[in-house]
Structure 1
Amino acid sequence: MSETPAELLRTEVRRDGARPFLTFYDDATGERVELSTTTFDNWVAKTAGFLTDGLNAEPGERVALRLPAHWQALAWAAACWSVGACVVLDDDGGSGGPDGVQVAVAGPDAVAAAAGGAPEVVGLALRPLGGRFTEPLPPGVADYAVEVPGYPDRFVPLSAPDDAEPALEQAGTVHTLGGLVDYARRRAEQLGAGPGSRLLVATDDLGPALLDALLVPLVVGGSAVLVRHEDPARRAARAESERVTAAVA
């Protein structure tokens, strides 16, 4: 049986939960956030609890992430995989149901379009320090920053998701949980990322961020520096200060 992303995250928490796991920069706003493996896992657990207890998501259901590359988006993906839900990227906003999206998660630029397109809709303000929206949201849209803090820092599913469960759907291709781990191992070899590697990943696109800033660090026991709206002039200094071992742009 293949490993799953959730199993890899738990392994890293046990191995060294205090070490930096994900450092996020937004060069357009000047934001910098650093999350240890344990802190990231806490966000994943809270989000998984919100998914199951607050949004009634079940294993096998589809969750659309209409989000840019952002640390909270990575936590959402990892939470879906902890629950056994399938992350859907490039979703067209179709209705919910057996073959549709059960939960739509949207950033500030996509909230209005997402409202009413799925049985459950969640808005992420993507403000520094995980801040809430400052303006009222459309009816039926939950504010993630308001809802998630009350959920526990640990999440234990009733049954661990099987590695053959669908995990990521994008552009007509579906990866299983185990398939994602295998894919990340091949990507790590392609990047020359060995044990403990620290990757600098500069992208505004969530798809590449999920692979290079989340899954590859999990399979190699490493970490990532995720940069949104990158100013290329800052890359060399940032790579030195963050002790980056490989850059992916």
Structure 2
Amino acid sequence: MNATDHTPADLLRSALAADPARPLVTFYDDATGERVELSVATFANWVAKTANLLQGDLAAAPGDRLALLLPAHWQTAVWLLACSSVGVVAEVGGDPAAADLVVSGPDTLEAARACSGERVALALRPLGGRFPQPPEGFTDYAVEVPGQGDRFAPYAPVDPHAPALTVAGLELTAAELVERARADAAGRGLGPGSRMLSGLPYDTWEGLSYGLYAPLATGGSVVLCRHLDRLDEGRLAERRTSERVTATAP
């Protein structure tokens, strides 16, 4: 990645320029058997569409706060980078009542109704599927995102020194986030081509860093596993081998 990258969106642009075809996020849900692999180009396309939805249809602006009520999932990673692209503060596990808008999974819809702003719901079904019955009062992400544009340009430049992320009581600017991710990557020996397997939830900085930001910051990729505790040691070892894992968190 480039020394001039100061936001997560910058990191993604550099990854796209360097090698758009390489894997970036490989997601497993060991409760359902789902496996999804997204190249840099495919992931960046999802991010662009989501950022266009966020900035356009949802009228989000830099500095707005988005309560992100989603588990560790490839679509959560997309939303994190979309927020960075627009300049919206992603509040992981944030209070919907205090947020400008909320993005919720299927298990947190009631809590999300406390948000007086725009509400978006994700079914988190395989292949990004929609809800069989759209939840009342919510925009169904899977219905709205496919028609969004494949390229994104923010209405205003994103300030790398403005707040970008809050998680578990920690608030980071975009520049601080990138710096921490690079430090975490160096501490685990991550570099270009590294494959980090993470079964950590996204409700701590460590989970977000090893499950997305640190691999992105160094030209690596992540094997993001939900419900990893359902695997025995033998099957976990098989996954490490088949996915060419070079580092594991925790």
Same fold, judged at TM 0.5 (above): yes
Residue of 71, 79, 96 corresponding to 1:76? 79
Q: What are the within-5 Å matches in structure 2 for residues 212-223 of structure 1? A: 212-223=210-221
Counterpart in the other structure of 1:43: 46
Structure 1 unaligned residues grouped into runs of 5+:
95-99
Question: Structure 2 CA distance, aligned partners of 1:53 and 1:163?
Answer: 22
- The yes-or-no answer on 1:142 pairing with 2:133 is no
Query: What whole-Å deviation, never above 9, does each CA across 1:4-24 have from its counterpart, x for those lacking one?
Result: 110110011011101111100
Residue of 195, 202, 210 corresponding to 2:192? 195
Structure 2 unaligned residues grouped into runs of 5+:
none
Question: Structure 1 CA distance, aligned partners of 2:187 and 2:95?
Answer: 32
Question: Structure 1 CA distance, aligned partners of 2:10 and 2:43?
Answer: 14
What TM-score does the superposition give when structure 1 sets the normalisation length? 0.93
Question: Structure 1 CA distance, aligned partners of 2:5 and 2:35?
Answer: 34
CA RMSD of aligned residues (A): 1.4
Count the aligned residue pairs: 243
Q: Secondary structure at the match of 1:25?
A: strand
- The yes-or-no answer on 1:240 pairing with 2:237 is no
Counterpart in the other structure of 1:210: 208
Give 1:116 deviation, angstroms: 4.3
Residue of 95, 111, 114 corresponding to 1:92? 95
- The yes-or-no answer on 1:122 pairing with 2:123 is no
- After the TM superposition, which segments of 4 or more aligned residues of structure 1 sit over 3 Å from their partners? 204-209
Query: What whole-Å deviation, never above 9, does each CA across 1:136-178 have from its counterpart, x for those lacking one?
Result: 412x211000011110111111232111010111233210000
| Aligned 8 A contact 1:25 1:31 in 2 | yes
Question: Structure 2 CA distance, aligned partners of 1:122 and 1:134?
Answer: 15
| Aligned 8 A contact 1:3 1:181 in 2 | yes
Query: What whole-Å deviation, never above 9, does each CA across 1:212-247 have from its counterpart, x for those lacking one?
Result: 122111111010100000134221100100001001
Q: Secondary structure at the match of 1:146?
A: helix
Q: Secondary structure at the match of 1:213?
A: helix
Question: Structure 2 CA distance, aligned partners of 1:2 and 1:131?
Answer: 33
Q: Secondary structure at the match of 1:28?
A: coil
| Aligned 8 A contact 1:47 1:76 in 2 | yes
